[in-house]
Structure 1
């Protein structure tokens, strides 16, 4: 009975839930509990304030309000919000760090330059 244009709510790993292993999928995911392993999504991942992720992450967009221990790779963007902590490498074309956010590791915002710009550099 959904109306056209309405999306189903994102699956949630609740505050009292602990998951060990690999998570893969094509949907968005919200983590309010604890995940240990690896996360591969074609959607977005949100780690809420009480969420703890001890995993390497590969997703379209990653938003961290809680804690992540592992490398974070996003094809779109990574947002580390106030009070959040990431321990590991962060790699995405767009990375935003709010005041009070903490990243213990490197940030790589590798962007493919248009050929016109790379041709000019080689001259």
Structure 2
């Protein structure tokens, strides 16, 4: 009998809920997270003077739409001695989009039955509207 390892994942949809005066915020995002990739941050002082240890669930996938005009992911590097910064950001975004695709269409084990392919309507909606 083969053991099945389950890594729990979740997706968060980020939509603008109100418009800041004189702002044209329309971008929406899906972020994918895996509970199998939790990261413990070093203790940091809180407002009361104590220290907290936080557990962070990093983003492993990202899909957005209406984000081009707002320039959410354009790196503004004031230090011209680091021209590779923009390339690093582009590569990270490409990796996050691949992660979103993998998670949105992942095979889901169904007990003793065969796996089925996940269908994530929000992802399909975002993908159809992204450029």
TM category, shorter: under 0.3
TM-score normalised by length of structure 1? 0.21
Select the structure of larger CA radius of gyration.
Answer: 2
Q: Whose strand proportion is higher, 1 or 2?
A: 1
Q: Whose helix proportion is higher, 1 or 2?
A: 2
